[in-house]
Structure 1
């Protein structure tokens, strides 16, 4: 949804000062809001004997943000060597890290095992013999096949490249057990930006039923299930927020019933990213040009290299104009960047207050999959990142890219292979 009133109440009165000091464009994140969401997650699942959120590093891979997650008692969900490095760099180690990759290379397996290891979450049955040293604790990502996902980001699981199929899942655990695994977890990731909490409850129920089936056939006990991420945020003002309290209550009831039947309660793990930081970030830009042809275009000083979700998914991001509101004069415009791509648009035919050059625009909900999905096409450089701290100071947590960064990979020792 649009940024919380708590965030805007603290940010907007000082945003012009921040913009003058740091210069636009920049992403700015709200430490207080992030911490409050972390607390809400822990409270919602406080009835589970062991609950842990593994923050999806891919959502916002900034060490300063990961330090907040570590301080809140969260682990880290990683899918690359670089993400493992980031997580270990802020103190994550061992079972505080879950490594969920796909098409995993030998180098990734080696790195995951080094420096204290992690929870290895395998994406395919074919990877079992490729694990150099089967760890004591192993997990598999389960793909149940045809199932409603509620959105176009994940799509139909039968067409997704992820996970072990239903027909393979028991044999996968059998093979892992034969290779020496003695502790087990079960994972799935079937949603993205899901606003209907009942879908996540059904996911937990599905995994608990599968745990019963596998345990009975292989005589193994599962230490945890991981229902993945995918908790949604309402990007549009008219959307209802996900009912986290109801979700926590109903999932806790499932776990309590499981314990009554089996005399133990597995842990509940999650790997939310967007839900934790998405609503607590904004891309702040400045209007620098206006063009009136078949549409009216408001050009800003950032492009989709800073936020590609609208171009990639047709995603909606709410926009405010600092110091102006919808009670005054409005107009319908496209808000665009300067990239040589026609889909370089933050908003299409959006009704906004009349914008003039120099106005500051706040593009909402960029605290996940914003800066992280940036790129350098056209030689465009990604903006800086700021943190509005709980003590009301503003901290630079990543500088903007420079031309020197862009050309750095062209500095190398010459190599030639004569054929």
Structure 2
């Protein structure tokens, strides 16, 4: 088991050197708790693994995974770059100190106004379609502007169908058959196309799908280089490196992962005489997924046709189990050494039958008042949360060497009214 689980001498869950029970008592539940050192360790492990084999390497954090300002600032300090998929993510990253040349914007179905905004922010734009290319040329002076294109490498992988982003069913990227002409068109319009991007999916633990994607993407890039005369400054293979969610899964051997994929990358560079473009990768989940825990309190134990453990959060707080049928390991944070003795369903407080964090999960005998920790909640946790059922969003706390800092205040009922207006005729 490698789920970043630490237990202190009280038999409680340890998060970043702090006692989970003490954290919950001080800040309340439900609560996202972020381990700062884990994020830093994850980033440096990832960067060092790849840069060791190919020094001209950059990490672009897929910030859609977690846009908490403290998380972004931690990664900015480490020298990370940003993979942004919306104007809001570009704006937020700029506010946190990321220069435009450290932000790659890869949107899809982007409006013309959004394209113009992102350009004005100084981010490098990675275009997803011919339409976006032409519309961008209409609202800026394209002369010499560096851009990139996302291609569909016809390779798809991921932990769920909704997370597979390559192949014939994917809405993303330009087709291989049109790549050469699209790059030529970009030049004709005055742009300076310097990059190529691909992304095959999310939650990948095996290097083989990545190797297929690198091979396919590099074949497309090689053809564009030879037939359109493009000298690439960078090739970006997206993200998708996974983390273990279940006790049976093993953490990715990131050094082996890097060695095998960079070996193939170098071979393809030599095959197509492409020089030494910078290699980009866009981890999101790998950097932040196992750095956060969702603490929830047991408010109900009900023996119905099944035994339900009811907690004070729902899929409005953590959507992944309901949306993707995702597994999150759950532990009793105040009794970590107790053995699992029974199967239970762990249910949220949203008025939906699908609001379950776990079905038929082996757990210790859970009592009302116990503190549960839903692990690996750092990626696509808070960022996908909502106010469904008119529930205020949870607080977030950052832990650094045992010291806790509130990095997002808990919403109140009054926050539910923000930006809403009742017309005068209804007053």
Structure-2 residue corresponding to 1:60: 66
Q: 2:43 aligned to 38, 53, 61, which one?
A: 38
Cα RMSD after superposing both structures: 2.2
CA 1:240–1:357: 2 relative to 1, 3 Å: same
Q: Could you say which residue in structure 2 is the equivalent of 1:256?
A: 266
The alpha-carbon deviation at position 78 of structure 1 amounts to: 1.1
Partner of residue 339, structure 1: 350
Shift of 1:202: 2.4
Equivalent residue number for residue 108 of structure 1 = 114
Kindly indicate whether residue 170 of structure 2 is the aligned counterpart of residue 170 of structure 1: no
Q: Does 1:159 align with 2:169?
A: yes
Q: Cα distance 1:413–1:106, how it changes in 2: closer, same or farther (>3 A)?
A: farther
1:247 alignment counterpart: 257
Cα–Cα, structure 1 residues 35 and 299, in superposed 2: closer, same or farther, change >3 Å?
same
5+ residue gaps, structure 1, are none
Match of 2:376 among 343, 365, 373: 365
C-alpha spacing 1:328/1:202, structure 2 compared with 1 (3 Å): closer
More moved, 58-67 vs 161-170:
161-170
Normalising by structure 1, report the TM-score.
0.93
Structure 2 CA distance for aligned equivalents of residues 184 and 64 of structure 1? 32
Q: Distance in 1 between matches of 2:131 and 2:297?
A: 50
Q: Take 2:262 and 2:157, find their aligned partners in 1: how far apart are those partners?
A: 23
The 8 Å contact of residues 310 and 348 in structure 2, kept in 1 or not, is answered as yes
Indicate the SS of the match to 1:92: coil
The number of residues matched between the two structures is: 414
What is the CA deviation profile of residues 343-383 of structure 1, one whole-angstrom value per residue up to 9, with x for unaligned ones?
11111111101111110000000000001101122112221
Aligned residue in 2 for 1:145: 154
Structure 2 residue 120 is the aligned partner of structure 1 residue 125: no
228-237 vs 257-266, greater mean Cα deviation: 257-266
The DSSP-based 3-state class of the residue aligned with 1:84 is helix
How high is the TM-score relative to the length of structure 2?
0.91
1:356 aligns with 367
Report Cα offsets for 1:45-88 as digits up to 9, x if no partner: 11223211111111001111000111111111111121111101
Deviation at 1:187, TM superposition (A): 0.4
Aligned equivalents of 2:386, 2:372: Cα separation in 1: 22
Residues 374 and 382 in structure 1, CA contact (< 8 A), matched pair in contact too: yes
Match of 2:214 in 1: 204
Whether the 8 Å CA contact 2:207–2:260 is kept in 1: the answer is no
1:234 equivalent to 2:244? Answer yes
Q: How far off is 1:239 after superposition?
A: 0.9
The whole-number CA distance in structure 1 between the counterparts of 2:153 and 2:221 is 13
- Rounded to whole Å, the distance in 1 between the matches of 2:154 and 2:266 is 27
Which one of 56, 72, 81 corresponds to residue 78 of structure 2? Answer: 72
State which of 13, 16, 25 in structure 1 corresponds to 2:30.
25
Report the equivalent of 2:307. Answer: 296
Secondary structure (helix, strand or coil) at the match of 1:201 reads: helix
Show the counterpart of 2:230. 220
Higher deviation after alignment, 298-307 or 153-162: 153-162
Moved over 6 A (4+): 412-416
The answer as to whether partners of 2:105 and 2:123 remain within 8 angstroms in 1 is yes
Residue 181 of structure 1: CA displacement?
Answer: 1.9
CA gap 1:353/1:393 in 2 versus in 1, 3 angstroms: same
- Shift in alpha-carbon separation, 1:234–1:405, aligned structure 2, 3 A: same
CA separation in 1, counterparts of 2:423 and 2:183? 46
State how far apart, in whole Å, the 1-side matches of 2:82 and 2:362 are.
39
Contact 1:197/1:244 (CA < 8 Å) preserved in 2?
no
Report the Cα distance in structure 2 between the residues aligned to 1:388 and 1:124, rounded to whole angstroms.
42
Q: Which residue of 1 aligns with 2:385?
A: 374
Counterpart Cα distance in 2 of 1:415 and 1:122: 46
